[in-house]
Amino acid sequence: MSLVYTEHLLGNMQSTVFTILFVKLLCLTLYGMTAVLAELPSPSNIRITSINMGLVLEWDPPQNHTENLTYRSEYKWNSIRSNYQAVCWDTTALCCDFTDHLNKFGMYTFQVRAEREGETSHWVETKEFVMDEHTTLGPPSVTLVSSGANIEVSIEDPVLRISELKEIYNHATFNITYWKEGQEQRAKRMNGIQLHKVVLELEQWTRYCFQVWVVTERFFKQSQSSNVTCESTTKGKDRPWVMALVMFVVMAVTVPLVVVALWYCYRVVSFLRPKAKLPGHFTVYLLDPQCSSILALQSSPQPDEVYHEVSIMPGGTETEESSLWWTEQHNAHNQTD
């Protein structure tokens, strides 16, 4: 009987143990499912944008979980096997600029996760990024200067955010494409130009357009193309002997004309100002104030003239009588005055 009781007791204990284990297993399963359901989803579409040695990590927010989310983004330098270091945290922005923390020859990995009130998502990690190999070179700057039928093309390297172009890509050249405006399909190309200034002799009175690329020997990188820049040529420079001939012809025609013009001017001046001089007493007389008053009198209206009739008689007795008569008339006139 005791044996039967013992077996019964052992059976009850086993069932109890199995029940406890089942309950614990069920609780753990439910807890795990709850934890999975409550975990924040990770950011998506993580990507790297790198132009001219600058680097920005970008991502899209989790779907249906955009409220009250912040993000944390980190990087590690694979070249020296470093640990991840945070650059942006507690930020609502969907990007993080790592440029100031990177080396121009470094190899890096980046990661980002979402956070909200103590909850975090899984990290999302990028592939390894090599700065000098994977960065995109921006367009060079192009300036055109026209001089006659020549156009000078001046090129400036892209401005890098870390270091300078020649320090990273010491064997960089330029590819220049140019064409007559409106004839891009007939464009001409000059490759492997090492100079920053190039002078092209082109057709006169024509408008040309230019576009330039930077090409590096290291990694065979090609930059973005520059903006299309256009400039017009004018009249080309004449040869020296042509200029000399033109100057000779101009002088041969101009000099005689100048001589003739001066001669005619001399004749006119001589006519207006003759060399003959008035006698000295004429000059004194004209400068005399009395003479000036006489000239003024001459310019005034003339007074009425008083005259008497004069009779001319033959000689002899009659003449004496006539003379006596004239004397009497003269005396009478004086008395009247």
pTM summary value: 0.60
Domain 141-233, second-level architecture = Sandwich (2.60)
Could you report how far apart the first and last alpha carbons of the chain are, in Å?
208
pLDDT of residue 279: 61
Give residue-wise pLDDT tens across range 275-321.
Answer: 666 566 555 655 555 555 555 555 556 666 666 666 666 555 555 55
Q: Which of 140, 152, 141 is nearest to 208 (CA)?
A: 152
pLDDT in tens, 178-231: 999 999 999 999 999 999 999 999 999 999 999 999 999 999 999 999 999 999
Identical fold, 44-134 and 141-233: yes
CA-closest candidate to residue 97, choices 48, 164, 62, 139: 48
Question: What CATH superfamily is the domain 44-134?
Answer: Immunoglobulins (2.60.40.10)
Rounded Cα distance, 140 and 131, in Å: 19
Q: pLDDT tens across 55-87, in order?
A: 999 999 998 877 889 999 999 999 887 899 999
Element (H, E) at 2: helix 2-38
Locate the domains of the chain by residue range.
Answer: 44-134, 141-233
181, 230 in Cβ contact below 8 A? yes
